[in-house]
Structure 1
C-alpha cells in the first residue's frame, strides 16, 4: 500500500477520533483512587513501578495538538460492591455478567485494551476477549488496539478463536451420517481400528489449520499436496471413498469448532477478515462492526500500530467514502442541524399533520419527513465528502502517471495511461480483476442492480414495489399519493372499502446476459429478488416481446395495501393479499367462461428506485395514451 493511499485511510479512520479509553488494570484510575479511599485495606495494583511506561502512553493522547478526550478504566473494578464495600474483582463475576464491564465502552472512538486483565494471571486473556466480544456486538464501528506483554503469535490466535462463531457450512449431520454408513458398509472398513477415521482427522485440526479453513474453505484440505496432504493421507489409509472426502473433513472441522474447550463465540460477531501477522505484516481482525489491531507494550506509539494495521487491511475506496460520510455527520451534524430543519412554520405544520393523523398514514408521513431531512443533511456534507473522493482519485491517477513516466522514460511526449493500468489499480484496491470477462460482467450486473433498485421500504404499497404473485412478477406503478391508506375517494364504481386499487405492469424475466447487452434499450430493469440465495439477482423486460407494449392489470390490495414488518426490519419478502378480476376455467356444460375476483397471496420482494419506477410509468402511459393510426403492415 503506497503512502498516498495510507494517508486517505488515516483521514477517514484516524483523524475523526476524538475519545480514547484505555482499559488496563495496571493504570491509575479515578475508580481505583476512590475505592482505596473508601477501604484503606484495598488498593489498586501498584502502577508506580512502571509509571514511566504509563506516562508514555498517556502522553501520546494528551500532547499538544492532540484533540483526544482520554479516560482510563480498570475492569477489575466492577460497579456494585458487597456488604463490606470492597470493590468486586472481575474474577468474581460470572461469564454471563462479564459483558456488563464493557457497557460504557461503546461511547469511545478508540479503545486501548490490555490483553492480560486477570489479576495475578498473566496467561489468561478471557476477560479481554469478553470485552472485545461486547464491543463487536455494538452497531457503532469500534476501533481497538490490543496491547500485551506476551508474544503476539500467542495472543492473536486466542483472540481470533474467541471471536469466531462456528461455521454452519461445516455442519451437515445427515450427509456425514450417510457417508459413515457407506464407509462402514465398504470392505475397507475396520471396526476394530482405534482411533476411527473421524477422531484421526480431528487430531489434525489445530487453530492455525481451522483459521485457514475458515478463510479459504475446505478445497485445500481435500487435495493431495499442500495443506491437505495429511488429511488425504489419512482418508486413503482408512479407505474412505474419494467422493466422501469433503464430508469427512468438514465433520472433523465441525467437531473442532463444537469443542467447548476451544472457546468459540456463542454469538455471530460477523468476523469478515483477519491477518495473522506473518512476514512482517501487522496482525489485525476486522468485523462488520469493528477493527482490532495488536501490538506489544513498549513497542512504539499505539496510533502508529493502528495506522499500519489499517493500511495492511486496505479498506476499499467505497468503504472510505462511507466512513467519511459517517465522520462528517459526527463532526458537522450539529453545525448543519439548524439549516437542515428548515423553516419553523413548515416544521410546525408537519407536526400538526402528525398529531392529527391517527391512521397508518402517520408512519408514511414520518418516513417521508425523515427522508427529506436526511437528504438535506447529506446535501450539506456532500461538498466535503466529494472533495475527499476527488483528492483520492487524483492521487491514484498520479501514481498511474508516475508509473507511465517510468515506463516511458525516453519518450518526448507524455505517456498516456493505458487501460490495463486502470484495471490493475482497481484490482489492487478491490481485489477484483476486471480484465476477466466473467468478473466484468458481474461488476456491470451488480452496478445495474444497485442503481436500479433499493431495499424495500414503506408501511404500505408504494410506486416501484415489485410483487411476486404465484411465479409472476408485477411492478406497482400507481402514483404514491393514491396508495396512502385512508386517503383517496372510494365512491368510484370499481372501488371497494378496505381494498386499495392499484395498477401494476407485468415483468418478464429474461436471461441476464441478454439484458446486459440491450441495457440501453429502455426496456430492462435489474433487481435483487431472491434474498439469501447464492444468485439473488434477476433481469426483467417490461414490454411484451410480440407487441413492444407493456402488459398491465388492475389489482386490489387487502387492508388498504398496508405492509406489516417484523420487529427486525429484515429484507425478507412481505406478504400481501390481493384480488384481481380473472377468467374462470370454462364450465363443462358451457363453452363460454365467466369472471371472478380471484384472491391471490403476493409478496413484496423488491423495490425500484423512484426514478426507475417513473420511467416505467412513462412507458406505460405512452402505451395507454398512444394514438392509433391506420397504417397497414405488410404480411
Structure 2
C-alpha cells in the first residue's frame, strides 16, 4: 500500500485536503474545498440519501454557495441544450471565426477574448432562469425570520455593528464597480499605480487596441501609445462611506486584504476639475508579467518639460458601465463653457463686518 501511495500521490489534487472543516458534534461530516463526506451507521444501508441530507443540513452552507452550486448543476443538466441554443446563429458564428482566422497575431488575441466572452454570455443566459427560480424559493423560505439573525447564522457577521456594516458596504461597492484585471493590454477602466500615484485610463477602448493603431500614429509616437488618464485621489478615511457616495465620483478597488476608495476629482469639491493628463504607454500598452508595463509621464525638469519613464502595475479594473460614467464626466469637464454672469453679492454677515 505504501509503495502504491508513493507512486500515485503526485496525481492527487493538491487542493483536495486544503481548508478542512468537520462537525464537532451531532451529525458527522467532513468537508474540504472539493469534497464533502457524510458518515452513517454501517447497519443502516436503507436510506443513505437521508443521511447525506442530514449532514448537508448540519453543515448549513451559505446561500451564495447554494446559488453557485445550482448554477453548476443547471450547467451540467442543461449544458448540451444551452450549447445548442448558443450555437443557433450560424452566420454570426461563421463571421466571428473568420475574423479569428484572418487576424494577425496581435489583433487575434483581442478577438479571441471577445469571442470567448460572447460565447460564455450566450451559454449562461440559458441557465439563469431556473437558478433565479431556485433563489426565489430559497429566499421565500427564510424571509419569514429576522434578516439580521439569518445573516449572522449563515455568515457569522453582525451587520448591526457599525464597523462591520461599513466594511460590508465597502466590499459591496468594490464588487459592483470593479473586478480583477483582465486582458493583455491597457484598456479603458484599468486602474494602475505608478510611483505611489494611482491613475485610471479613460481613453475609448477602440483607441487602446495596439493592432488598430494607424501607421501614421505609429510613425509619430513609435512604440508608445498615447492615452488619457486621470490621477485618482485616495480617500483619507477608507473605512467610512462618503456621504455623497451617489455623486458618481467614487470608485472602490478590492485588494487581497482590504478595499481602497478613490475619488475622480477633489473629494471636498463635487464640481472640481479632475487632474487629467496625456500619458504614453510603452510597447503600445501591452502587459508584461502580472499586468505590468512602463508609462511615460510629462513632468517639469530644471528648464523644460521632460518625459519621465515610470514602472506601472494594474491594480484593478472598473466594470464597463462605471468606466463609461467617468469617461462621460471627464468629457463634460473638458467641454464646459465659462459663463460671464453678473449678480448682486449677498449682504455681509456679522463675521464679514
TM superposition score normalised by structure 1: 0.51
Against the structure 1 CA distance between its residues 522 and 272, is the aligned structure 2 distance closer, same or farther, given a 3 Å change threshold? farther
How far did residue 344 of structure 1 move? 1.5
**Contact between 1:354 and 1:362, CA under 8 Å: does it hold in 2?**
yes
In the alignment, which residue of structure 2 is the partner of 1:178? none
For the pair 1:463 / 2:188, whether they are aligned, the reply is: yes
Out of 419, 427, 440, which is 2:152 matched to? 427
Deviation string 1:420-469 (CA, Å, 9 cap, x unpaired) is x2211222222222111121111111111111111111011111110101
Partner of 1:537: 259
> Residue 627 and residue 328 in structure 1: after superposition, are their counterparts in 2 closer, same or farther (change >3 A)?
same
Partner of 1:95: 5
Pick from 331, 335, 339: which aligns with 2:85?
A: 339
Q: What's 1:562 paired with?
A: 286
Question: Which whole-Å deviations, capped at 9, do the CAs of 1:223-273 have from their partners, x for residues lacking one?
Answer: xxxxxxxxxxxxxxxxxxxxxxxxxxxxxxxxxxxxxxxxxxxxxx42153
| CA displacement, residues 462-487 of structure 1 (integer Å, 9 cap, x when unaligned) | 11110101111001111111111121
CA contact (8 A) 1:468 1:603 kept: yes
Q: Distance in 1 between matches of 2:187 and 2:69?
A: 31
Contact kept in structure 2, 1:445 and 1:516, CA below 8 Å: no
Alpha-carbon distance in structure 1 between the residues aligned to 2:217 and 2:104: 25
Q: Please say if 1:371 is aligned against 2:117.
A: yes
Q: Using a 3 Å threshold, how does the CA distance of structure 1 residues 515 and 92 change in structure 2: closer, same or farther?
A: closer
Task: Select the residue among 220, 230, 238 that pairs with 1:512.
Answer: 238
Partner of residue 274, structure 1: 22
TM-score (norm 2): 0.89
Q: For residues 370-449 of structure 1, what are the structure 2 equivalents within 5 Å?
A: 370-397=116-143, 399-400=144-145, 421-449=146-174
Q: Secondary structure at the match of 2:210?
A: coil
Structure-1 residue corresponding to 2:311:
601
CA contact (8 A) 1:359 1:486 kept: no
Cα distance in 2, alignment partners of residues 298 and 516 from structure 1: 61
| 1:494-513 CA distance string (max 9 Å, x none) | 94122121111111001224
2:198 to 473, 480, 490: 473
- Counterparts in 2 of 1:136 and 1:629: CA distance versus 1, 3 Å: same
Q: C-alpha distance in 2, partners of 1:348/1:576?
A: 35
- The 5-angstrom pairing of residues 218-233 of structure 1 reads none
SS at match of 1:271: coil
Partner of 1:522: 248
In structure 2, the residue matched to 1:625 is: 335
Deviation, 1:341, is 2.4
State the partner residue of 1:615. 325
> Following the alignment from structure 1 to structure 2, what is the Cα–Cα distance between the partners of residues 443 and 601?
33
Q: CA deviation at 1:520?
A: 1.0
| 1:97 partner SS | helix
Q: Measured at CA, do residues 341 and 292 of structure 1 come closer, stay the same or move farther in structure 2, by a change above 3 Å? A: same
Cα offset for 1:135? 5.6
1:361 to partner: Cα distance: 2.1
SS at match of 1:360: helix
Q: Contact 2:166 / 2:240 at 8 angstroms: preserved in 1? A: no
Q: What is the Cα deviation at residue 518 of structure 1?
A: 2.4
Structure-2 residue corresponding to 1:499: 224
Number of residue equivalences: 341
Unaligned runs of 5+ in 1: 1-90, 104-133, 139-268, 401-420, 566-572, 587-592
Alpha carbons of 1:519 and 1:494: their partners in 2 closer, same or farther (altered >3 Å)?
A: farther
Query: Contact 2:167 / 2:239 at 8 angstroms: preserved in 1?
Result: no
Give the superposition deviation at 1:493. 9.7
Q: 1: distance between equivalents of 2:215 and 2:310?
A: 22
In 2: Cα distance, 1:517 partner to 1:272 partner: 42
Counterpart secondary structure, 2:216: coil
Query: Unaligned stretches of 5+ in structure 2?
Result: 347-353
2:350 corresponding residue in structure 1: none
- Deviating more after overlay: 321-330 vs 296-305: 296-305
Instruction: Give 4+ residue runs of structure 1 displaced > 4 Å after superposition.
Output: 492-495, 632-635
Cα distance between partner residues in 1 of 2:87 and 2:288: 30
Report the alpha carbon displacement of residue 490 of structure 1 after superposing the two structures with TM.
4.6
Deviation of residue 304 (structure 1)?
A: 2.2
Kept after mapping to 2: 8 A contact 1:490/1:497? no
Q: Tell me the residue number matched to 1:407.
A: none
Indicate if the aligned counterparts of 1:515 and 1:539 stay in contact, CA closer than 8 A.
no
Alignment of 1:489 onto 2:231 = no
